[in-house]
Amino acid sequence: MRGAGSERSLEAQVAATLAIQADEILLVAASGGPDSTALASLAASAARAAGGRVELGHVNHGVRTSAEQDEAVTLATGAALGLRVRCAYVRGAPSDEASLREARYAALASLARVAGAARVATAHHAEDQTETVLLALFRGTGPAGLAGMPPVRALGEGLELVRPLLRVEPARLRAYAERAHLPFALDPTNRDPRYRRNAVRAALAALRGDFPHLDEAVARCAELVREELAPTARGRTRAGLQAALRAAGLGRDLTFERLEAATKALESGVRGRVHLRRDVELVIGGSDEPGG
């Protein structure tokens, strides 16, 4: 992350995504790693501004040799940020990834209910989303798998799981935690070749040098698939714009970024012009037809 400007940009991005309400209690899932440590700080900042409160939820499976260290780091993070930390201890669950994940979410749901929180935030980031989509693709998934992790889903009755960092690179999160001098620990299992996700992670790391926008492209793909499966207002606006451009013979060679900028401008309802490509601009609040 480059300096205070980027730091403020990240804080604003997370605050807007979380949209914490006054008097709301948000439980942030904290593992002790740099990603969840950064999210804890970002969410706490957003909550203070909104008049809400953040608590940290840590699940200790007792599986890794570093489990006690991870808990200690999470407690230190809570102390540094002035946040209450709630810990759950899960023992006896199978040690495969799926079982551990299911047990972790169940424990987080229990912690949230005790805390009086209606939402649990996790620090899944852009690279996590890329890995999830590719693993689903390699398993021969359908559209639901290509949609990746949703930014919001039900966690239980009256509970939501939210992922505010799906478009954020982990390097920005680690840099944020380092600049704030917050404690964190690195998970040694992230390099364990026994886990399929780690094999995908290593291959992607090698590819990012040649494809620096890889994660952004995959996140965009997942978002579009989600909108196809469950159309959103923005998706309908984008589809309508695309249909109008095709009807006018102007739909070719438009980048997603320009199309998305035009969609957001249409949503805002503010008069103005959006350049879609060198010879095409959209006039908002004037002519009903895209201009050329």
In tens, the pLDDT along 122-173 reads 999 999 999 999 999 998 988 889 999 999 999 999 999 999 999 999 999 9
The CA distance from 208 to 190, in Å, is 18
* pLDDT at site 191: 67
Residues 6+ apart with CB under 8 A from 35: 123, 125, 165, 170, 173, 174
Residue 221, class by beta-carbon neighbours within 10 Å (0-12 exposed, 13-18 middle, 19+ buried)? middle
Token pair recorded at residue 160: 């939501």
In tens, the pLDDT along 31-87 reads 999 999 999 999 999 999 999 999 999 999 877 778 899 999 999 999 999 999 999
Residue type, 31: S
Task: Of 132, 128, 115, 10, give the one whose Cα is nearest residue 58.
Answer: 115
**What's the pTM value of the predicted model, to 2 decimals?**
0.81
